[in-house]
Amino acid sequence: MSSGSRDLLRRRAFVRDLFPGSLLAVLGGSYLVLGESVNAYARAQRRPDGRARLPPGQRVISRLKPMGGQEGDPAKSAYRLRIHGLVERPQILTMRDLLAMDQTEQRLDVHCVTGWSVLDAKWRGVTLAALATRAGVKKGARHVIFEGAHGYTANVPLREALRPEVMVAHRLDGRPLGRAHGAPVRAVVPELYFWKSAKWLTGIRFVARDRPGYWERRGYNNHGDPWKEERYG
């Protein structure tokens, strides 16, 4: 059994053992956790900052939903990641370059603006902080723009983008990222709503002035804090 299968089974067993009355339903291949007991348990847990683990207005599901978007090229051999803007050493990294860097594996909760959350998803990749160090971010930089396929962008304040849990990820739950989830590489910014975690990542740009991204220009909140329910502008 693959490590990805083991992770998914572990997550289902966790829910089953804690909440024997909860129902797991299969909808289009996605296992949705139905039952307020699961959500209540997650809300009762506390993060180190004192906030509830599950933000307000969210419900727990067992794995990521594909949320659409214009897909990029999933071929690892063709992959290039451009790191540019206010940096001393602009970079164009291949998949091999990324894999040669120190890899980190983190279990992170992610929260979609549409109201679902996945707890303990296991991501593997390179931290944004490591990429920033490699490129040498200039003092004037204040924001990061994640650039995805077909012109998609998402803006994040630099101080938040440099948190240790912010990643450029290529594996999820022990498997290479699926095409629907941003293969071969996506951003992961777990402290903000999931639209900030740009899929099919092609570039990371460091800028002095904030530049609202694709969804921010279409009415979504410019920041996107799930615990403040910063969903829409």
Q: Would you say residue 8 lies in a domain?
A: no
* Inside any domain, residue 5: no
Question: Which CATH number goes with the domain that contains 69?
Answer: 3.90.420.10
Q: How far apart are CA 15 and CA 92, in angstroms?
A: 42
The per-residue pLDDT for 32 is 54
The answer to the question of residue 145 being in a domain is yes
Return the residue matching tokens 């983008």: 161
In a domain, 28, yes or no: no
Considering only the C-alpha atoms of the chain, give the largest distance between any 2 of them, rounded to a whole number of Å: 56
Tokens (6 digits) for 219 = 């009415």
pTM reported for the whole predicted model: 0.86
Structural domain for 67, as ranges? 56-228
Which residue, 44, 41, 40, 95, is CA-closest to 73? 95
State residue 23's pLDDT score: 42
Q: What angle do CA 25, 177, 168 make, to 5 degrees?
A: 120
More confident of the two residues 60 and 32 = 60
Is it true that the peptide bond before 66 is cis, omega within 30 degrees of 0? Answer: no
- Per the listing, tokens 């998803």 go with 121
Q: Which of 37, 72, 36 is nearest to 187 (CA)?
A: 72
Residue 71 in any domain: the answer is yes
Q: Is residue 19, in this structure, part of any structural domain at all?
A: no
If one counts the domains in the chain, the total is 1
> Does a structural domain hold residue 208?
yes
For the chain, give the percent of residues with pLDDT over 70: 85
Q: From the centroid of its chain, how far is CA 27?
A: 22
Strands 143-148 and 201-207: antiparallel
Report whether pLDDT(6) > 60: no
Question: Taking 80 as the threshold, does the pLDDT of residue 216 lie above it?
Answer: yes
Of the candidates 167, 170, 219, the residue with the CA atom closest to the CA atom of residue 191: 167
Q: How confident is the model at residue 2 (pLDDT cuts 50, 70, 90)?
A: low
Question: Is the model's pLDDT at 5 over the cut of 80?
Answer: no
What is the 8-class DSSP label of residue 37?
A: H
Q: Which distant-in-sequence residues (6+ apart) come within 8 Å of 80 by Cβ? A: 92, 93, 94, 202
pLDDT digits (tens, 9 = 90+) for 122-180: 999 999 999 999 999 999 999 999 999 999 999 999 999 999 999 999 999 999 999 99
- Contact of 71 with 65, CB cutoff 8 Å: no
* pLDDT at site 62: 86
Mean pLDDT of the chain: 89
Question: Would 7 be classed as within a structural domain?
Answer: no
Distance between CA atoms of residues 134 and 14, nearest Å: 39
